[in-house]
Chain A
Amino acid sequence: MIYKVTHTTTYSYSETVPVCHNEVHLTPREHPYQACSYNRLLIRPHPVTSGKRVDYFGNPVSFFTVQEGHHKLVVTAVSKVRLSEPPDHRPAITPPWEKIRAALPGFRHPQGLDAYQYVFDSPHVACSAELAGYAHASFTPGRPILEAAIDLNQRIHRDFEYDPQATSVHTPLSEVLAHRRGVCQDFAHLAIGCLRSLGLAARYVSGYLRTVPPPGKPRLVGADASHAWLSIFCPESGWVDLDPTNNSVPSLDYITLAWGRDYSDVCPIKGVFVGGGNHGMSVSVDVVPLS
C-alpha cells in the first residue's frame, strides 16, 4: 500500500507572537513494514532556524524557530509512505506471559535492553494495582502473551465508550479507568498501563489511520485524524501493534509516525511561545491511498 498523508495544524493568536520555538514529530519513521519515500514540512511564517535530528527512541524530530511576529502559524507535513503487511504472529503459540515478564530484566541484547525501558512508569502512565486487576482477567496464569493481549484489546474496546468530550490530553489514567470513557490516546495509555502493571513492555505509537468512507459515500478530504495505538513486546515476534480503539491488530491501514513511552515523548507538535493573548488551533489530516 502507498499513501500520501497531508497533516496541517493551524495556530491562531489574538495578539502578536514575536517568537516561538517548536519541536515536531511529523516524519513517519521507518520500520520493517513501513518505508517513507517523501517528507516535507511547510511552515508559515518562514522559520529562521530549522533542522532535524533523531530522538532517544529513534524517531525523526524536526525543530524550528519562528522569529517573525505573527498572528497565525501554519505547519503542514506532507509524506509518502509504503506499507507492507506484517506476518501473522500466531497468538495461540506465543510463550506464556509470565515467562516474558521474568526474562525482561535479564535481556542483554540490544532489542531486549531497548524493550526493558518500556516496562516502567512514564509521565502519562502510572502503574497501579487497579490496572493490574483489570488486566488479570485477560492475563490468566500461563496464557500465551499475544492471545492475552488481544483479549485485553478486545475488552477495552467493549468496556470503554469512545467519547471525545470525556477527556483531555491531561486526564489521568485513573480517571479514564473509573469513568470508562475516552479517546484513542486514553485507550492506548490504558492498555499500556495494564501491560506495564503486569511487568510487561508496552510502548505508545503515534500515527494515522486511513478511514474508509461508508459504501456509496465519497471520501471526505481532511476528515481523517491523527491516531494512537500501542505495541507490546514478545521476544519471538518483536513488537506487535494493537489498537484498542478499533479492536484491531493494525496492518495496512495504520501509518506510524513515531513511538515512545507515552504521548509526551512523541506528541506531533509541541511549542513554546511568548505573547499571543488567546490562542486557538485546528488540525486537518488527509490520508490518500495512491495504489
Chain B
Amino acid sequence: MRQEDDDLLNSETGAAEPAVTAAIPPPSPAISPVLGAYRPVAGLHDELVTAAGEIRPHWARFAAGLEELGPQELARRWEQARRLIYENGVTYNAYSDSRGMERPWELDALPLLIEAREWESVSAALIQRAELLNLILSDLYGAQRILSEGWLPAELVHCNAGFLRPCHGTRVAGDCYLHLYAADIARSHDGQWWVLTDRTQAPAGAGYALENRLVISRMLPTLFHEARVQRLASFFLTLRETLRGLAPHNRENPRIVLLSAGPSAESYFEDAYLARYLGYTLVEGDDLAVRNERVYLKTLGGLLPVDVILRRMSDDLCDPLEFRGDSLQGAPGIMQAVRSGTVAVANAFGSGLLEMPAIMAFLPGLCRRLLGQDLKMPSVATWWCGHQQALNYVIANLHRLVIKPTYPTRGIEPVFGAQLTTRERGQLAERIKAFPRKFVAQEQVARSSAPVWTSSGVQAWHLALRGFLCASGSSYSVMGGALTRMSAALDLLGTSMAAGEGSKDAWVLSDRPVDQVSLLRPAGQPIELRRSGSDLPSRVADHLFWLGRLVERVEGAVRTLRNILVRLTSESDPAALPELPPLWRALSDQGHIPSDHSLRAGREFLGGIERELLAAIFDEQRPGSLHSTLNAVHRTASVVRDRISIDSWRILNRLDREFVPPQQAGFVQLSDALAVLNQMIINLAAFAGLGMESMTRSQGWRFLDMGRRIERSQHTIHLLRSTLVTALENEAPVLEALLEIADSSMTYRTRYLTTLQMAAVLDLLLLDETNPRSLGFQLAALNDHVEELPRDRTQPFYSIEQRIMMALLTSLRLADIEILCELDKEGTRKNLDRLLSRCAGQLPKLSDSIMHKYLIHAGPPRQMAEIQPD
C-alpha cells in the first residue's frame, strides 16, 4: 500500500511549481523591504552581513531575489508552505504518545546559505572526527590500547553504561562502528566553527532536514535553482549503498529494516518518514525474532530473514538477553546473531559509548595518537572534573560554565552556572567536590546569528547546525546540507532536537552545476520484480485491521448521530417523532450513550437529549464517544504511518482538525454539531475512496478492509436489531431513517418509488449483495478475504475462519424475507432477531480467530526468574 515515492524523490527539483512572474521591477538598493530592517546581534558572527553591515557575497543574489518577491508575496507563499507542513502532519514527539505532546514541526521561511568552500572545510573536519571516533570505538571494543597508554582515563569507559561489555571482542564488518554520525556545530564571534555534541548512537534529524528542503525548495523554486544548492538525495543514496554493502547474505537484494523504538519514541515521525523514503520496512523489536542465530521478520506469511538493521533506538535496549534485561523493546538473541555474523547493525551496538561529553577533553591527544594529526575543528572547551587541575578550574569558574553529568543520563538537564544564585553555585560546587568524577563542565558557546522571518519582520536569531555523515568506503561522506535549529534566546538551544524554537533549511551552495539525483535505480540496471506478498509484518496487519474497524466505527456513529440531529433540528416537534425512541435505543445499544439514559417525556425532554447527544459526540473523556473513537483512529494511524499514503494521512489529519464544535457563547448548537458531522461524512468518504482506488490489493489492504467489513456488519446488525425487532404502530418513519443511515434511500426510491415496505427495506439492507451497505455485501466480501489469507494450501480442511464465513453467508442467503418480517403474538420479529443474533455472535469469533492466527504473538519477551545464591 506504499504510495509511489516519486513526489518525495523528485521534490527537490520543484518542477511542479510555476515560475515566478516575469514582470519584476529591477532591484533597487534603496528599496529593500524584506531585509532592509535586519539588524544582526552585536558582538556575534552574523551569517548574512559582515561586521561592516554589508551583505556577504554568497547571499547577494538570494537577498536580491527576496527583495524582488517582496514581503507580501513571501508571506503568501509562506502561508501556503506552512499549510503543507500542517497537512503532512510533520510532528516532533516529545517523549510521549499522548497527543498533547506531539508538537508540530516549526520551520522558518528563510534558508541559511553556506558558501561552498566554507562547507568543504567543515566537511573535512567532520570527516576527520568521524574517522577518529570510529577508531576510538574500535580500540575500546578491542585491544584498549588508548586506556593502557593513558590517552583516556579508564573509568570513563568502565563506569559508562554505554560501554556494552558483550560487544567487546566482536568484530564488526569493515571495522566500522559508525555508519551514521552527526555533529552539532556552532560558530563563535570570530567565525570559527566548534563541535558541541557528537551523535554516535542513532543520529536523528536527517529526515527533518529532508522535509525542510522539500518545503522551502517548493516555496522558493526559482531562487533555489539559481542558487545551485547541493542536493540532499545523494547523501541518502550513499547511505543506501553503505547499508546494502553491509549485508552478509543476499548482497544483491538484501532485506533491510529500520528498527524503531515505536510510536512513543521521540523520533517516531522521522523513523516512519525515513523508512518510507529509503524504502525499508519499519519494524519494532517485537517484529523481529531470532532463530538459529539469524534475525527474522515476523510476517503474515511466516518468518523472513533480515540482513541489515538500521537501528534508530538506543543499543542497550536492543537485546534483553545480553544488554538491559528490563527492556521490552528489543529482540532477545540479536547480539548473538551479530556475533555470528548473520546480520549487520548500523550503527554497531556499543557505539552510544562516545556520546559522553567528557570524551571531548581528550580528543586532541587521541587524534594525534590514532591519526597522527591535529584535530581540525575544536570541540567546545570541556573539563572532566576527575582530574584535580580541571576540578580546580571548574570550581573557580562555575559562573561561566555549563555543568553536565559525565555519563549521559536521561532526564538530567545541563546546569548553566550563570543562571544560579551565589548560594546555589556553592551547593553545586559541594556536589561536584563530593564526586568530581561524575561531572563535566563545558564553556557556554556563542553562536552565530541569521535572519529569521517572524510576524514582526526579519530578526536575528541564534543558530545551531547538525551536520550528517555517512560511512562510504573506508571514509565518510557529508550531507550537502544540515539540520539547522534556531532560537531567539541563546541558552534555549540545548542539544536535543526538540530544543530551540524551530528549524531552517540549510542551502550549501555549489561552485559547479548540481547533479540531479534520484533514489530510484538508474535505468538499465536490472531489478528483481516483486509483487507485494505476505511479507507484511504481523504487527502492521494488526494495526491496519484495527484502523479499518475504528474508521468504520466512526462512520457508523456519525451516520446514526447525524440522522437524529437532522430530526431534532427540523420543524416537527421531536417529542412526536415515532422513530426517535428506536434510534435512541440503537445509539445506546452500540455504547454511544449510557444504557440507563432513556428518553423521558415532558419539559426535560429536549434539554436532556441535547446534552446527551453533544456529549456522545464531543466528550473526549466518555468511553465510546465519537471524540474518543477519533482519538483511537489517530493513535492507530500514527503507528502505521509509513503504510498510509500521504493523501490518506492528510485526510485523517483533516478529520481531526475539523472536528471542532463551533462554539457560540460557550455552548454548542445542535445545528453546528450537524455541520461538523456532515463534514466528517465527506472526509470519511474520501478516506474510504482512497483505500479503494489507490491501495494495491496486498495483505495490508485486505486487513484494513476486513476490519472495516466486520465493523460495518456489526453496525448494521445492531441497528436493525434495535429498531426493527420490536414492531411499531407506524413503521414508515423508522424505515425512512434506516435507509438514510445506510445511505440507501436513493436506491430504494429508484426501485420502489415511495412506498416504504418492511420486506423491501430489509431486503435492501440485509440480503442484497449488490448494495455495499448491506450485511450480505459485507459477509460476501469477508468470505473473499478469508479465502485469500495466507495459509498452508496443502491442508485438506477448511480453516476456522472459512467455516465461520461459509456458515454465516449460507444462513443469510437461505433466509426468506417474508419469514423474517413475520410478527409473533407479542409483536416482535423473532425470526429476524434469531438471524441477527446468530450473526452478531459469530462475527466476534471470526475476529478472534483472525487475531489469534495472524496477528497476536505469544506476547512480549519476559525474563526468567533469577536465582538468588544463598
B154 engages A270 (CB within 8 Å): no
From B332, which residue of chain A is reached at the shortest CB distance? A272
B869 touches A65 (CB 8 A): no
Contact A226 B864 (CB under 8 A): no
Which of B150, B158, B325, B869 contacts A270, CB < 8 Å?
A: B325
The answer to whether A206 and B869 touch (CB under 8 A), given A65-B290, A116-B155, is yes
- From residue A78, how far is it (CB to closest CB) to chain B in Å? 18
Residue of B nearest to A56 (CB): B165
Closest approach, in angstroms, between the C-beta of B18 and any C-beta of chain A?
Answer: 57
* A-contact bits for B124-161, CB 8 A (1 contact / 0 none): 00000000000000000000100111100111001100
Contact of A273 (CB < 8 Å), options: B153, B864, B866, B867: B864
Q: A21-B332, A49-B292, A55-B165 are in contact. Are A272 and B863 (CB under 8 A)?
A: yes
Interface range for B: 35 or more
- Digit string of B162-192 for contact with A (CB within 8 Å is 1, else 0)? 0001101100000000000000000000000
Complex Cα distance A65/B322, Å? 13
Residues of A within 8 A of B150 (CB): 108
**Are A273 and B861 within 8 A (Cβ)?**
yes
Q: Does A178 sit at the interface, judged by CB under 8 A?
A: no
Cβ-neighbour of B869 out of A48, A63, A184 (below 8 A): A184
For A73, the closest partner residue in chain B by CB is: B864
CB pair A272–B869 under 8 Å, yes or no, is no
Q: Are A272 and B158 in contact (CB under 8 A)?
A: no
B148 pairs with A113, CB closer than 8 A = yes
Closest to A275 in B: B858
List the A side residues contacting B857 at CB < 8 Å. 274
Q: Is B803 an interface position by the 8 A CB rule? A: no
- Check A56/B168 contact, CB under 8 A, given A21-B290, A275-B858: yes
Q: Which of B154, B158, B291, B870 has the most CB atoms of chain A within a 10 A radius of its CB?
A: B870
Quote the shortest CB–CB distance from B386 to chain A (angstroms): 9
Q: Which residues of A are found within 8 Å of B865, using beta-carbon distances?
A: 11, 279-281
Could you mark each residue 48-75 of chain A with 1 if its beta carbon is under 8 Å from any beta carbon of chain B, else 0? 1100010111000001010100000000
**A23 closest partner in B (C-beta):** B321
Which residues 819-870 of B have a CB within 8 angstroms of A? 857-870
Report the bound CA distance from A169 to B864 in whole Å: 12
Comparing A37-45, A117-125, A138-146, the segment that makes contact with chain B is A117-125
Residues of chain B lying within 8 A (CB to CB) of residue A272: 320-321, 325, 332-333, 861-864
Q: Is A228 an interface residue (CB 8 A)?
A: yes
Q: A21 → chain B, closest Cβ, in Å?
A: 4
Identify which of residues 314-359 in chain B touch chain A, using a CB-to-CB cut-off of 8 Å. 320-322, 325, 332-333, 336, 339
The one of B154, B159, B869 that contacts A226, using a Cβ cutoff of 8 Å: B869
Say whether B743 faces chain A, with CB atoms less than 8 Å apart: no
Measured between beta carbons, the chain A residues less than 8 angstroms from B168 are 56
Closest to A265 in B: B165
- How far apart sit A284 and B863, CA to CA, in the bound complex (Å)? 21
A206 surroundings in chain B (CB, below 8 A): 869
User: Is the C-beta of A268 less than 8 angstroms from some C-beta in chain B?
Assistant: yes
Task: Determine if A276 is an interface residue (Cβ-Cβ < 8 Å).
Answer: yes
Within 8 A of B (CB), among A166-221: 167-169, 183-185, 206
Would you call A269 and B869 a contact (CB within 8 A)? no
B5 within 8 Å of A (CB atoms): no
A-B contact count (CB 8 A): 126
* B740 located at the interface, meaning its Cβ lies under 8 Å from any Cβ of chain A in the complex: no
Which among A18, A55, A228, A269 is the interface contact of B864 at CB below 8 angstroms? A269
| Closest residue of A by beta carbon distance from B289 | A19
Select B322's contact among A20, A23, A185, beta carbons within 8 Å: A23
For chain A, the bracket of interface size reads: 35 or more
A121 touches B159 (CB 8 A): yes
Q: How far is it, in angstroms, between the C-alpha of A276 and the C-alpha of B859 when the chains are bound?
A: 10
Q: With both chains docked as a complex, state the minimum distance between the C-beta of A118 and any C-beta of chain B, in angstroms.
A: 9
A272–B858 Cα distance when bound, in Å, is: 13
In the complex, what residue of chain B is closest to A110 when comparing beta carbons?
B148
Q: Main secondary structure on chain B at its contact with chain A? A: loop
Query: Could you tell me the distance in whole angstroms from the C-beta of B475 to the nearest C-beta in chain A?
Result: 30
Tell me whether A225 is interfacial, beta carbon within 8 Å.
Answer: yes
- Our pick among A11, A63, A116, A283 for the contact of B336 (Cβ within 8 Å) is A63
A11, B869: Cα distance in complex, Å: 16
Once bound together, how far apart are the Cα atoms of A206 and B869, in whole Å? Answer: 8
The reply to whether the CB of A267 lies closer than 8 angstroms to some CB of chain B is yes
Q: How far is the CB of B410 from chain A (nearest CB, A)?
A: 16
Q: What residues of B have a CB within 8 angstroms of the CB of A184 in the complex?
A: 869-870
Q: Residues 268-298 of chain B: 1 if any A CB is under 8 Å from the residue's CB, otherwise 0?
A: 0000000000000000000001111100000
A86 sits at the interface (CB 8 A): no
Does A164 touch B at the CB level, under 8 Å? yes
Complexed CA–CA distance, A201 and B158 (Å):
13
CA distance A18 to B861 in the complex (A): 11
Min Cβ gap A20→B in Å is 8
In the bound complex, residues from chain A placing their C-beta under 8 Å from that of B292 are 48-49, 65, 67
A9 touches B291 (CB 8 A): no
Evaluate contact between B866 and A113: CB separation under 8 angstroms: no
Name B859's contact: one of A108, A121, A263, A275 (CB within 8 Å).
A275
List B contacts of A57 (CB < 8 A): 165
Residue A271 is within 8 A (CB to CB) of chain B in the complex: yes
Asked if A270 and B862 make an inter-chain contact with CB atoms under 8 angstroms apart, the answer reads no
A227 at the binding interface (Cβ < 8 Å): yes
Contact with B along A8-41 (1 / 0, CB 8 A): 0101000000111111000000000000000000
Is the beta-carbon distance between B858 and A18 smaller than 8 angstroms? yes
Chain B residues whose C-beta falls within 8 Å of the C-beta of A67 in the assembled complex: 291-292
B4 smallest CB distance to A (angstroms): 37
A271 engages B148 (CB within 8 Å): no
| Residues of B with C-beta under 8 A to A271 | 321, 863-864
A116-B158, A270-B325, A274-B857 given; A169·B333 CB < 8 A: no
Q: Shortest distance in angstroms between B321's beta carbon and chain A's nearest beta carbon?
A: 5
Which residues of chain B (544-565) have a CB below 8 Å from chain A?
Answer: none
Residue of A nearest to B386 (CB): A105
- Closest partner residue, chain B, to A283 (CB atom): B867
B155-A56 in contact (CB<8A): no
**Which of chain A's residues has its CB closest to B153's CB?**
A105
Shortest Cβ distance from A62 into chain B, in angstroms? Answer: 12
Q: Are A269 and B332 in contact (CB under 8 A)?
A: no
By a CB distance below 8 angstroms, the chain B residues around A9 are: 867
* B154/A113 in contact, CB under 8 A: yes
CA distance A67 to B289 in the complex (A): 11
A270–B165 CB distance below 8 A: no
The residue of chain A having its C-beta at the shortest distance from the C-beta of B322 within the complex is: A23
